[in-house]
Chains A and B, each alone.
Chain A
Amino acid sequence: MTIDMSQFYQVFFDEADELLAEMEKLLLALDVSAPDSEDLNAIFRAAHSIKGGAATFAFNDITEVTHMLESLLDRIRKGEMALTPEHVDAFLVSKDVLTMQMDGHHHGSSVDQDAVDNVCQRLKALSQGIVADAPAAAAAPAMPPEPVQSAAAPVADADGNFSFRIELPEVPQRDVDALAAELGLLGTISQEILDDKRVVFTLATPETQDNIVAICSFVLDPDDLRITHAGASQTAAQGDSGYGIFEPEKVDAASQPAAATVESPKPGQPATAASAPAAEAKNLGRRATDKEGSNQESSSIRVGVEKVDQLINLVGELVITQAMIEQRIGALDPLHHERLLNSASQLARNTRDLQEAVMSIRMMPMDYVFSRFPRMVRDLAGKLGKKVEFVTRGAATELDKGLIERIVDPLTHLVRNSVDHGIEMPEKRRASGKNESGKLTLSAAHQGGNIVIEVSDDGGGLSRDRILAKAKQQGLPVSDTMPDLDVWQLIFAPGFSTAEVVTDVSGRGVGMDVVKRNITAMGGTVEIRSVPGAGTTIAISLPLTLAILDGMSVKVGEEVYILPLGYVIESLQPVAIDVKEIAGEGKVVKVREEYLPLIPLYQIFAIEPNFTDPSQGIIVILESDGKKAALLVDSLVGQQQVVVKNLESNFRKVAGISGATILGDGGVSLILDVSALLRSSHQLYADPIYS
Chain B
Amino acid sequence: MSKTILAVDDSGSLRQMLSFSLKAAGYGVIEAVDGEDGLNKAKQQKVDLVLTDQNMPGMDGLSLIKALRAMKNYQNVPILMLTTESGDDMKALGKAAGASGWLVKPFDPARLTEVIKKLIG
Contacts and interface: CB of A to CB of B under 8 A. Distances in A.
B100 interface: yes
Interface stretch (A284-292, A422-430, A452-460, A559-567): A284-292
Contacts of A654: none
B13 A243 contact: no
Given A1-B25, A259-B91, A277-B96, A56 B17 contact: yes
Contacts, number: 184
Interface string A255-268: 01111001100000
B61 to A, nearest CB: 12
A297 B38 CA distance: 10
Interface of A: 1-3, 5, 7-8, 11-12, 14-15, 42, 45, 48-49, 51-53, 55-58, 155, 165, 228-232, 235, 240-246, 256-259, 262-263, 271-274, 277-278, 280-282, 284-285, 288, 291-292, 295-298
B89 to A, nearest CB: 6
18 contacts: A1-B21, A1-B110, A8-B13, A8-B17, A12-B13, A49-B10, A52-B53, A52-B105, A243-B80, A243-B114, A244-B102, A245-B100, A259-B96, A271-B100, A273-B70, A277-B98, A296-B33, A298-B37
Contacts of A42: 57
A282 to B, nearest CB: 5
A68 B99 CA distance: 29
A284 B57 contact: no
Contacts of A241: 111
B55 A45 contact: yes
A25 to B, nearest CB: 15
B86 to A, nearest CB: 6
Contacts of A273: 65-66, 69-70, 96-98
Interface of B: 10-14, 16-17, 20-21, 24-25, 32-34, 36-37, 39-40, 43, 53, 55-57, 59, 63, 65-71, 75-76, 78, 80, 84-89, 91-93, 95-111, 113-115, 118-119
A80 B25 CA distance: 44
A502 B40 CA distance: 61
Contacts of B40: 288, 292, 295-296
B95 A263 contact: yes
Nearest to A261: B92
A439 to B, nearest CB: 33
A15 B59 contact: no
A236 B13 CA distance: 30
Given A11-B16, A245-B119, A277-B66, A3 B24 contact: yes
B115 A243 contact: yes
Most buried by A among B24, B39, B89, B110: B39
Contacts of B86: 165, 228-231, 240
B39 A288 contact: yes
A243 B113 CA distance: 11
Contacts of B53: 52
A246 B100 contact: yes
A245 B87 CA distance: 15
Most buried by B among A52, A58, A232: A52
Contacts of A51: 84
Contact of B106 (A2, A49, A55): A55
A584 B25 CA distance: 83
Contacts of B66: 273, 277-278, 280-281, 284
Given A49-B10, A271-B100, A278 B111 contact: no
Given A241-B111, A262-B95, A281-B98, 12 more contacts: A3-B21, A11-B13, A52-B105, A55-B84, A235-B88, A240-B104, A243-B104, A274-B96, A277-B97, A284-B66, A296-B36, A298-B33
Nearest to A245: B101
Contacts of B85: 231
Contacts of B91: 244, 256, 258-259
Which are the 5 A-B pairs with shortest beta-carbon distances?
Answer: A231-B87, A281-B66, A281-B70, A245-B101, A258-B92
B111 to A, nearest CB: 5
Nearest to B108: A242
A232 B36 CA distance: 32
A245 B96 CA distance: 13
B55 A56 contact: no
Contacts of A48: 55, 84
A41 B37 CA distance: 20
A58 to B, nearest CB: 8
Contacts of A298: 33, 37
Contacts of B43: 292
A48 B56 CA distance: 10
B57 A45 contact: yes
Contact of B109 (A3, A277, A295): A3
B95 A278 contact: no
A274 to B, nearest CB: 7
A1 B14 contact: no
A389 B51 CA distance: 46
Contact of B16 (A8, A240, A243, A258): A8
B92 A259 contact: yes
B88 A256 contact: yes
Contacts of A262: 92-93, 95-96
A15 B10 CA distance: 10
Contacts of B75: 272
Contacts of B114: 243
A56 B96 contact: no
Contacts of B105: 52, 55-56
